[in-house]
Structure 1
Amino acid sequence: MNRVFPIHQITENMQQLLMQEITSHNREEIIVELQEKIEKRGKLLESIAPPYSEEEEKLGRTVVHMNQHIEKQMQQLFTALKNEMKQVQQQKKSTTSYVNPYKSVQNTDGMFLDKKK
């Protein structure tokens, strides 16, 4: 029986999961599902050992190739998430400065201080 086939199936599912449109609404679900698949695949990878048949080697090469695409897609997802987090932080900062524009001003220019007692 082919020991690499379940790994190939999980990798294929991961690739299909990342191919669908990822929005801010479904991103968390996709990341959780992807993380589960990565853990499951990791356990399967630990359980197989050489020698491999020709068919297993061929499937292994396709898994490696698919994995490269998956890594690129995950990197793009991570970059988009980082950019969105930066944008949210900037919006918070902008909102705070709009609500209280003089909060960060530390200048006492034009103010009279009576130092006599």
Structure 2
Amino acid sequence: MSNVQKYYIETVQLLSFLKNENGCLLGRDERIEFINSCIASRQDLIEQIKPPYSKDEMEIGKKTIELEKELQALLRLEKQSIQKDLTSFTQHKKSRNKYINPYKSLNFDGMFYDKRK
């Protein structure tokens, strides 16, 4: 099996993992770790792919490029989901701290001094 075929198989596996709801059953850390390991193995395979290519490898490469576009969109959605969770977590943390100590962040910039005697 050539490296192009191995790369195609890795791409299909990662794509099916991101599309499949079974991946959501894993915890976020396990999910991210699996995605990172797939990306690392794909990176290793990319470095091993060298020309000249056969006709079969060219066809597989074209299919892989099409799958790559879909994969990028799914990875972008995954990243946005993580970013959304992080921002909601930090917002929740700030609101919790304000509830615990509401007078901590008061501004005293606009104090008024009465100069009349």
| TM-score range for the pair, normalised by the shorter chain length | 0.7 to 0.9
Cα drift, residue 106 of structure 1? 3.3
Q: Is the 8 A contact 1:14 1:34 kept in 2?
A: yes
SS at match of 2:31: helix
Q: What stretches of structure 1 move > 6 A for 4+ residues in a row?
A: none
Q: Check the 8 A contact 1:17/1:30 in 2, yes or no.
A: no
The 8 Å contact of residues 4 and 60 in structure 1, kept in 2 or not, is answered as: yes
Aligned to 1:5: 5
SS at match of 1:4: helix
CA RMSD of aligned residues (A): 2.1
Q: Determine if contact 2:3/2:48 at 8 Å carries over to the other structure.
A: no
- Flag the 1:69–1:89 CA change in 2: closer, same or farther, 3 A: same
Equivalent residue number for residue 37 of structure 1: 38
For 1:18 and 1:51, the matched residues in 2 are separated by 32
Paired residues in the alignment total: 110
User: Structure 2 stretches of 5 or more lacking a match?
Assistant: 113-117
Aligned to 2:62: 61
Summarize the Cα distance change of 1:23–1:88 in structure 2 as closer, same or farther, 3 Å threshold: farther
- What TM-score do the two structures reach when normalised by structure 1? 0.83
> Going by fraction, where is helix more abundant, 1 or 2?
2
What are the superposed Cα offsets for residues 52-98 of structure 1, whole Å, 9 maximum, x if unpaired? Answer: 11111000111111111111111111111111111011111111111
* Separation in structure 1 between the aligned mates of residue 31 and residue 104 of structure 2, nearest angstrom: 40
Q: Call closer, same or farther: CA 1:15–1:86 in 2, change over 3 Å.
A: same
Once residues 40 and 34 of structure 1 are traced to their aligned partners in structure 2, the CA distance between those partners, rounded to angstroms, is: 10
